[in-house]
């Protein structure tokens, strides 16, 4: 069982799992500065940091632990995970090429005394396990930052092994 209460079918495709979760992938977000959204090197796909941005351009902003709750920020990390999956789709053309999520690096725009960074980034980690099953289990870092671009609440980057 996952955090959302769904039981992923072991052999379901990532698309079937997304549909079961009621998730429709947005268009992959464009870079906000002089970089690309992803780089493939051999069988690894490196994804640039994404944030909690909606398809209509709205972003979640603020300090987690000072105006933004852990529960809200968890949902922001989940949205960020959806954006990362959209980049994977754009880069690979087929999410079935994802062999495993190797590593996440999650950053939380946190108040100085905030200490629940892992609970926030679980929003993305839980989603990846729901969508990719055992291939979504990954190594991870979750750290606090004094600020993030545009004052977004979270930013997450990923490394993915592909077929």
Structure tokens at 159: 């490394």
Q: What distance in Å separates the CA atoms of residue 8 and residue 19, rounded to the nearest whole number?
A: 11
Q: What is the pLDDT of residue 38?
A: 98
Q: For 137-148, write each residue's pLDDT tens digit.
A: 999 999 999 999
Would you call 147 exposed, middle or buried from its count of C-beta atoms within 10 A (0-12, 13-18, 19+)? exposed
Q: For 49-67, write each residue's pLDDT tens digit.
A: 999 999 999 999 999 999 9
User: Do the beta carbons of residue 62 and residue 153 sit within 8 Å?
Assistant: yes
Q: What is the pLDDT of residue 9?
A: 58
User: Do the beta carbons of residue 107 and residue 148 sit within 8 Å?
Assistant: yes
10 pLDDT more than 80: no
3-state secondary structure of 50: strand
Would you call 67 exposed, middle or buried from its count of C-beta atoms within 10 A (0-12, 13-18, 19+)? exposed
User: Do the beta carbons of residue 92 and residue 45 sit within 8 Å?
Assistant: yes
Average pLDDT, the chain: 94
Residue 44 forms beta bridges with which residues? 41, 161
Phi then psi for residue 61, to 5 deg, are -125, 165
Is the pTM of the predicted complex or chain greater than 0.85? yes
């Amino acid at each position: 069982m996952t955090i959302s209460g769904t039981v992923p079918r072991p052999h379901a495709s990532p698309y079937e799992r997304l549909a079961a979760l009621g998730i429709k992938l947005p268009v992959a977000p464009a870079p906000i500065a002089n970089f690309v959204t992803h780089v493939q090197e051999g069988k690894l796909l490196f994804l640039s940091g994404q944030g909690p941005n909606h398809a209509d351009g709205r972003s979640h902003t603020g300090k987690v632990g000072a105006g933004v709750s852990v529960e809200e920020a968890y949902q922001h990390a989940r949205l960020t995970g959806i954006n990362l999956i959209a980049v994977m789709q754009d880069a690979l053309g087929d999410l079935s090429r994802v062999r495993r999520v190797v590593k996440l690096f999650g950053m939380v725009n946190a108040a100085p005394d905030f200490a629940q960074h892992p609970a926030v980034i679980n929003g993305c980690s839980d989603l990846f396990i729901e969508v990719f099953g055992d291939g979504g289990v990954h190594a991870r870092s979750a750290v606090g930052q004094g600020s993030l671009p545009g004052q977004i609440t979270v930013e997450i980057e990923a490394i993915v092994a592909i077929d």
